[in-house]
Amino acid sequence: MLELEGVSAAYGAVRALDRVDLKVEAGEIVTLVGANGAGKTTLLMTICGRPRAISGSVRLRGQDITRLPTHRIAALGVAHAPEGRRIFARMSVRENLQLGARLAPAANLKTNLDSVLALFPRLGERIDQRGGTLSGGEQQMLAIGRALMAEPELLLLDEPSLGLAPLIVRQIFAAIARINRERGTAILLVEQNAHHALRLAHRGYVLATGRVVMEGPAAELAANADIQTAYLGKLSA
């Protein structure tokens, strides 16, 4: 589905990704874990062409998308719920969802809206409220909902749990699992909360200072003692 080969990216002179190889198969949840500043967010944005990879290639269903403009990549079925959620604060929840729906056939708008509201009933209660007035958890639901409105084949999620109360985090993760199970959407999930992410994902990659330092089935990574001490913090439970 998605294949990165030797992808490097940089902000000016600062190299953020160094020859990253990564794959996401259809229907798979893959998680990308690692410390702050490891390059996780950059990796997701590079898939979308912002910043563009300075070397290597990004392929989607075999098609090279490395040099495509961001909106064309989105049109190929990649939806992104990015870092910081980036809700359109002055627009209503409905308008935010409509913006997400631009790439899906207009005839599906109603059913897609209903299914997002079924997944996140809270958004239904707030449908005419401005995006900027939502709580952090609701904004995260809106960011994911907006991405789903495009009927993506690949969903990129950047730290959906950041700054949220544990109860909300559980709801969000349950929703992610449901999206993958019911729609078969492939998901590339970036998380700092590695315990949670590895429990949810099929496979995982560990990123450190822009390089992939480890990869494998999520269960194996979660059990790996090195990762536990280096990236997951000491497990006391």
Partner 1 sequence: MAYFIQQLINGLTLGAIYGLIAIGYTMVYGIIGMINFAHGEIYMIGAFVALIAVLAFTSAGIASIPLLLIVVIVAAMVVAGLYGWAIERLIYRPLRGAPRLAPLISAIGLSIFLQQYVQLTQGGRVKTLPPLMPGGFTLMRGDDGFAVGISNFQIVVFVLTVVLMAGLTLIINRTELGRAQRAAASDPVMAALCGIDVDRTISVTFVIGAALAAVAGVMVVLYYGVIDFFIGFLAGLKAFTAAVLGGVGSLPGALLGGLVLGLVESFWSAYADAAYKDVAAYAILVLVLIFRPSGLLGRPEIEKV
CA distances from 158 to 80, 82, 104, 161 (A): 8, 5, 22, 9
Tell me the closest approach of the beta carbon of residue 52 to partner 1, in angstroms: 13
17-56 per-residue burial string, b: 16 or more CB within 10 A, e: under 16: bbebebbbeeebbbbbbbeeebbbbbbbbbbbbeebbeeb
* Cβ 218 vs Cβ 188: under 8 Å: no
Pick between residue 102 and residue 170 the one whose CB is nearest to partner 1: 102
Q: How far is the CB of 234 from partner 1 (least distance, A)?
A: 32
Q: Closest approach of Cβ 71 to partner 1, in Å? A: 5
Amino acid identity, position 3:
E
DSSP state of 70: H
The footprint of partner 1 (CB under 8 A) covers 48, 50, 69-71, 74-75, 79-80, 82, 86, 88-91, 95, 98-100, 102-103, 146, 150
Least distance in angstroms from the C-beta of 13 to partner 1: 17
Question: Minimal distance in Å, beta carbon 170 to partner 1?
Answer: 27
Q: Which is nearer to partner 1, 69 or 217 (CB)?
A: 69
What is the torsional sign of CA 84, 88, 92, 97?
negative
Q: How far is the CB of 88 from partner 1 (least distance, A)?
A: 6
**Pick from 127, 130, 129: which is nearest to 90 by CA?**
130
Q: Which helix (H) or strand (E) holds 17?
A: strand 14-24
166: exposed, middle or buried (Cβ count in 10 Å: 0-12, 13-18, 19+): exposed
Token code pair at residue 167: 């109860």
